[in-house]
Amino acid sequence: MKAAVLLCVVGLTLAQEDPLQKFKNRFRWDTGDGTDSITEDLANSKDIQTTNVCQTDPAACGCCLMHQQIDRMKKSFNQSLAELQNELNKAVNSLEEFRSTRSAFSVSLFTDNSKKCYGPFRDDTLIIYKHIFLNMGNNYDISTGIFTVPRTGVYSLALTVYSDAGAPGNTLAACASLRVNGHLLTGPREMYMQDQEDSATASIVVKLRQGEQVSVNLPIGCFLCDNSNHYNTFSGFLLYITE
């Protein structure tokens, strides 16, 4: 092994002189017109250079071939590394895009601890949920009560309503309507005189388009009651993106 390395080092030292020039110098004769008999094609051909060097100097030839192999390995390695880096960049970009489009929210009616009711009103009224459990992506607007869809995709939406008639025999009216751009999706409803208090829940999966607005309305005659137990909730999250 040491002899091979020494032979390569000696070959490299000898190879510092252009192998073609070394060959030309060793077998040079003057043609009388200032040029030698080595053809221009020979001077421009690396394959012929290598062949002639191998014929005249086996040690330099061995190192030359070794360097050619090393150069090929370097090129192959660099190409593979570039391809791996490209795939890594794609994966990182996909992850960042996924993170930027995550959307989930969960809110309830009131923030204070004391029990109070919302409604009834003479007109349909948009409900503004004030207590926020989660608002990932900040797509729920606490000032308007509207969730704006950030990306087109399939979403899970859930609405729970609770009310207290106040006393036995009073009319219970726990009801609300879940809407997209003002159009009704679903509406849990409990309205009768048999119970003093009751609740209802609606949960759906629906495809929504970017920019659409999801909200909850309180229908005429309905009222919701809540306290720190957060009985009235409105929630939604993105399941997956679609085109």
Please work out, in degrees rounded to the nearest 5, the angle formed at the alpha carbon of residue 12 by the alpha carbons of 9 and 16. 145
Q: How much is the pTM?
A: 0.61
Domain ranges, ordered by start, for the chain? 2-99, 102-241
Cross-strand partners of 192? 172
CA distance 126 to 229: 22
Pick 214 or 65 by higher pLDDT: 214
Q: Provide the pLDDT for residue 93.
A: 77
Phi/psi of residue 77, nearest 5 degrees? -65, -45
One of 2.60.120.40, 3.90.330.10, 3.40.50.10800, 3.40.50.150 is the CATH number of 102-241, namely 2.60.120.40
Whose tokens are 């495809």? That residue is 207
Please write the tens of the pLDDT for every residue from 118-138: 989 999 999 999 999 999 999
Please write the tens of the pLDDT for every residue from 14-33: 444 555 455 445 544 444 55
Hey, which of 68-72, 93-97, 162-166 has the most confident mean pLDDT? 162-166
Q: Which residue type sits at 226? A: D
pLDDT tops 90 at residue 184 = yes
Please write the tens of the pLDDT for every residue from 163-181: 988 887 788 889 999 999 9
Percent share of the chain, pLDDT over 90 = 42
